[in-house]
Chain A
Amino acid sequence: MAEVKLHGGLLSPFNYRVVCALKLKGIPFELIKEDLSNKGALLLKYNPVHKKIPVLVHGGKPVCESMVILEYIEETWPQNPLMPSDPYDRAQARFWINFAENKGAAVWKLFRSIEDQENTMKEILEMLQIVEEHGLGEKKFFHGDKIGLVDIAFGSIVHWLQIIEDIVGVKLFESHKFPGLHAWLKNYKQVPVVEENLPSRDELLVFFKGRYEKLQASARMQ
């Protein structure tokens, strides 16, 4: 099998998604830690358009953008499928992945900017409400009895949201408001591959608190 390398940052939710998928499929890979404040020449060569991590390099060929990478992994290594086989169900899974990508951005907005916080929080609550109402249904996971790409997409958003809530000092993802999602998250975090690879709350709190304080400081200087 051609070599698989993942350029990423350990505490990035986007990176975590890819690690999860590779581990679920049992694909060996080398993780190349990228320091985001000092991006390596190799990373910039592989992702000249977006200049972002993660980048998966398979047999020397780079694939960018976490959810595009995940579909690439799914199509290249079909064992332990993470997407449904029926075309309509696959389309629905893609819909939710796309939704997670579009609406999940509000979580980072909450972290990065004090401006417009009310609206950003409203966006996050709306996102959670829609998924609670329309996304999960009666299933244990979005994918069914086992986790799939949709679970991975939302898992990274919600776990990081819980950290950001603490740092920013707001309460959005409350269990009485989103019982379905809370139950799902509990089950999700118990899946062995998830448990082993999800960065701990403490690690994330320390790292993101530091970055948050820097952002706040530079915002005050302007």
Chain B
Amino acid sequence: MAEESVKLLGYWASPFALRVKWALKLKGVHYEYVEENLPNKSPLLLRYNPVYKKIPVLVHNGKPLAESLLIIEYIDEAWKQNPLLPDDPYERANARLWAKFFDEKCVPEVMGAFASKGEEQEKAAKARENLKMLERALEGKPFFGGDKIGFLDIAVGWIGIWGRIVEEIAGVSLIDAETMPLLTAWLNNFLEVPVIKACIPSWHELLEHNKGFHKILTGSST
């Protein structure tokens, strides 16, 4: 059997790189992790991702792939054990649709609340409205994937960590147990799963890093 090489170019404070790490760990894939010294992007990164010039990038047997959710779909197809997406096309469509909704309707609103100077509360309210909608996809299951962690769990899970960071730094509320009981219960569950928990960066380091980031974002806005 040919030697398989799997490399992940990432950044320790990136939730998108974390998604890919979770996928690789859940599949039991051995990989080499390469930390990019952002914002100084390496020539390797620029060569591997000429279109977006961003991490994460997965390099499998020398062939690069970019965009975290697409990388996860690839990982699911290249390594068949412990499937992340369901078999049924309709269920797959739903998982993809909700992941798209999260990335396009929830994340920008959360980022908006984080980067805003003066409009945090309005943006957070919008973020809460959209995050609440995600509960429809849970429908009384322990995970979005059903009894086991699946694609949508990995896609959304990081909000449990970064959401709390935004709440603390920007002084807003994003996910609360009272209005989002299902989401809160799911997050508490998901983030405690050993293989998931083991990949999460240090809370204190993330908080400090994001405090610095927040100063830049709100300080330089005109």
State the main secondary structure of chain A at its contact with B: helix
Contacts of B63 in A (CB 8 A): 88
| B209: Cβ under 8 A from any A Cβ | no
User: Cα distance A161–B88 when bound, in Å?
Assistant: 35
In the bound complex, residues from chain A placing their C-beta under 8 Å from that of B93 are: 63, 68-69, 71-72
Interface residues of B toward A: which range?
Answer: 20 to 34
Known contacts A49-B133, A65-B100; decide if A88 and B65 are in contact (CB<8 Å): yes
Beta-carbon contacts under 8 Å, A30-84 to B: 49-50, 58, 61, 63-65, 68-69, 71-72, 75-76
Task: Give the residue name and chain of the A residue nearest to B137 (CB).
Answer: A49
- Asked if A90 is at the interface (CB within 8 A of a chain B CB), the reply is yes
Residue from the list A49, A71, A87 in contact with B101, Cβ < 8 A: A49
Residue tally, chain A, CB below 8 Å to B = 24
The answer for the CA separation of A23 and B68 in the assembled complex, in Å, is: 32
Cross-chain contact A95 with B66 (CB below 8 angstroms): yes
Q: How far is the CB of B202 from chain A (nearest CB, A)?
A: 32
Chain B residues with CB below 8 A from A50, complex form: 101
Among A68, A75, A76, point to the contact of B100 (Cβ < 8 A): A68
Can you report 15 A-B residue pairs in the complex whose CB atoms are below 8 A from each other? A49-B101, A50-B101, A63-B93, A65-B100, A72-B90, A75-B92, A76-B89, A87-B74, A88-B63, A91-B71, A95-B65, A95-B66, A98-B67, A99-B51, A134-B51
Please give the residue numbers on chain A whose beta carbons come within 8 Å of chain B beta carbons, in ascending order: 49-50, 58, 61, 63-65, 68-69, 71-72, 75-76, 87-88, 90-92, 94-95, 98-99, 130, 134
Chain B residues in the interface with A (C-beta under 8 A): 50-51, 60, 63, 65-67, 70-71, 73-74, 77-78, 89-90, 92-93, 96-97, 100-101, 133, 136
